[in-house]
Structure 1
Amino acid sequence: MTQVMACIDGSHSTRAVCDYAAWASQRLSAPLTLLHVLDEVQYPTQPDLSGAIGLGSREHLLEELASLDQKRHTLAMEQGRLMLEAARERVQTEGVEPAQLRQRHGDLVECLSELEADIRLLVIGRQGKTCDSFNQLLGSHLENVIRTLHRPILVSCGEFKAPQSYMLAYDGSATARKSLEMIAASPLLKDLPCHLVMIGADTSDAREQLKAAARVIEGSASEVHQVIRAGEVEPTLHAYQLEQGIDLLAMGAYGHSRIRQFLVGSTTSTLLRTSNSALLILR
């Protein structure tokens, strides 16, 4: 668990992913690896032409189709290599030591699972190349990556902005406390202002939970704001974030209360789709 790893695919998100990865690499004093995975569905190494209805015995046509698919695969791999080189040049301009380049052919989630032991932080864009618009739905692999990978994931949701403050959605659960401890122990967000935000009723128990949480993070954050807000989780968190001009939202991937309901299943998509800033998903 030693590297910052950034998923590069040539989409509009790639520039911001590079910039967030460079920022994280410097904050963590960790080497950076740029990863490109050529999708095996879109570019199979062994194309299946069994469905080529009507070609009959014209085997030369099948051979030609197979040859064209192989050339397409080869060109896509070369394009990916050039893309990785360009990404390395971009992060070097940010002062990052020459990044390691890795290229794989296969399924993104499976590749990341295989590389998980080497990943300290994964940086990935909200949309991939097949969903290349900041206004469109999530990339097809993102939710599966979040559910599968047991590593912190920094999701770029727009243009890069170096975080100057962060908000942690806190619900008092064991997962939330672990997320808090992870942040406190990491240099990634050290010396930035922290906003601890709990969604729910303003009770004495809730205030005590926030006070306990503040004690955990106060040695790492430059200042700690303790906030309790009533309302629906997603709009309330985003409203507070906008109100305070917060650059990054951090939260555990799973909790036990309404935040758990919010993060599991289709509501995960809602948060990621509606966010205007980067999200740090903690496991």
Structure 2
Amino acid sequence: MTNVVGCIDGSAAATAVCDYSAWAALQLDAPLMLLHVLDLNRYPVAPDVTGNIGLGSREHLLEELAELDAQRAKVALKEGHVMLEAAESRAREDGIANIQLRQRHGDLSDTLQEMEGDIRLVVLGLHGEDSSDKPQHIGSQLETVIRTLHRPILLTPFSFSAPASAMLAFDGSATTRKGVEMLAKSPLFKGMPVHVVMVDADTSDNWEKLKWAEQQLAENGHEVHIALRAGDVEPTLHAYQAEHNIDIMVMGAYGHSRIRQFLVGSTTSSMLQASKSPMLILR
């Protein structure tokens, strides 16, 4: 059975990641894996001092520095284990019984790619450990994960609130139609009202595409609202979300649609930076 994987680190979003991971695991009736990856660049397993031998008195200093790096890595591993245990305790309080803890030393993106076959959903903080004190910055590894992982990714803000409504950014393309079908059938959004929003010209063709999406979702028991808005993608989507007090935004990172070009192109950061609510990225 594939897992909901909550990526735990020392950021301010870690508690929300834990809570959203537990919420998703309950909604999907899936086991929960809490993952902590110790960054290999910050905490190397064995510092490389080759090429520095033969520098006389400096050799002893380099050995001391290498020993200090090794001690820092050991402390960081222990700290990560403590964070995982605290997250496990919180998830159990949220009602999760089936929990695995996993700790890795390496790169987050590479680790998730290796585990991809066992992943149903990944949960990450919008702001990582290095950007918690800078809300205008997204996590340094986030874009890499979005570009490389072929699993849905739930991105969380700093605090948790159980989603009760969802909004799908839709452009009518074949790939975003797949997103409608995924959302319609997913137990993650069972019973929620869903807004399908297209940012494009007000044409009969676009309304037909929206009505198709409305039908797919309605047939799967959703209360559906469709909207066609003009304007720039990011501000228009966020304005609609705020206007209707929608809890979670769903977007696709696939195909060659306008939404994809916006999301995983050069303006990725501005979209994510502007988000103050959870965002689900479909793959």
Fold equivalence (TM over 0.5): yes
Counterparts of 1:132 and 1:255, CA distance in 2: 31
Per the alignment, residue 126 of structure 1 pairs with 126
Alignment length (residue pairs) = 283
The change in CA–CA distance for 1:197 and 1:255 in structure 2 (over 3 A counts) is: farther
Cα distance, 1:92 vs structure 2: 0.9
Cα distance, 1:96 vs structure 2: 0.9
**Counterparts of residues 75-94 of structure 1 (less than 5 Å):** 75-94=75-94
SS of 2:11's partner is coil
Residues 175 and 257 of structure 2 are in contact (CA less than 8 Å); yes or no, is this contact kept in structure 1? no
Residues 153 and 281 of structure 1 are in contact (CA less than 8 Å); yes or no, is this contact kept in structure 2? yes
Counterparts of 1:107 and 1:146, CA distance in 2: 14
Q: Does the alignment pair 1:61 with 2:61?
A: yes
- Using structure 2 for the length normalisation, give the TM-score: 0.95
Per the alignment, residue 149 of structure 1 pairs with 149
Per the alignment, residue 95 of structure 2 pairs with 95
The change in CA–CA distance for 1:54 and 1:246 in structure 2 (over 3 A counts) is: farther
Counterparts of 2:134 and 2:188, CA distance in 1: 26
Per the alignment, residue 269 of structure 2 pairs with 269
Instruction: Please list the CA deviations of residues 39-60 of structure 1 after superposition, one character each: whole Å capped at 9, or x if unmatched.
Output: 0000001112358699534433
Counterparts of 2:94 and 2:58, CA distance in 1: 55
Residues 194 and 221 of structure 1 are in contact (CA less than 8 Å); yes or no, is this contact kept in structure 2? no
Alignment RMSD (CA, Å): 1.7
Per the alignment, residue 187 of structure 2 pairs with 187
- Using structure 1 for the length normalisation, give the TM-score: 0.95
Q: Does the alignment pair 1:209 with 2:209?
A: yes
Counterparts of 2:36 and 2:264, CA distance in 1: 28
Instruction: Please list the CA deviations of residues 55-110 of structure 1 after superposition, one character each: whole Å capped at 9, or x if unmatched.
Output: 53443333222222111111111110011000101111111114200000011111
Counterparts of 1:212 and 1:114, CA distance in 2: 37
- AA aligned to 1:277 is S
Greater shift, 56-65 or 258-267, is seen at: 56-65
**Counterparts of residues 1-283 of structure 1 (less than 5 Å):** 2-50=2-50, 56-133=56-133, 135-283=135-283
Greater shift, 91-100 or 143-152, is seen at: 91-100
Counterparts of 1:101 and 1:40, CA distance in 2: 19
- Over 6 Å off, 4+ runs: 51-54
Gap runs ≥5 in structure 2: none
The change in CA–CA distance for 1:164 and 1:67 in structure 2 (over 3 A counts) is: same
Cα distance, 1:264 vs structure 2: 2.4
Greater shift, 256-265 or 209-218, is seen at: 256-265
Instruction: Please list the CA deviations of residues 123-180 of structure 1 after superposition, one character each: whole Å capped at 9, or x if unmatched.
Output: 0001111111362311111000001000000000231111110000110111101111
SS of 2:113's partner is helix
Residues 9 and 129 of structure 2 are in contact (CA less than 8 Å); yes or no, is this contact kept in structure 1? yes
Greater shift, 211-220 or 231-240, is seen at: 211-220
SS of 2:6's partner is strand
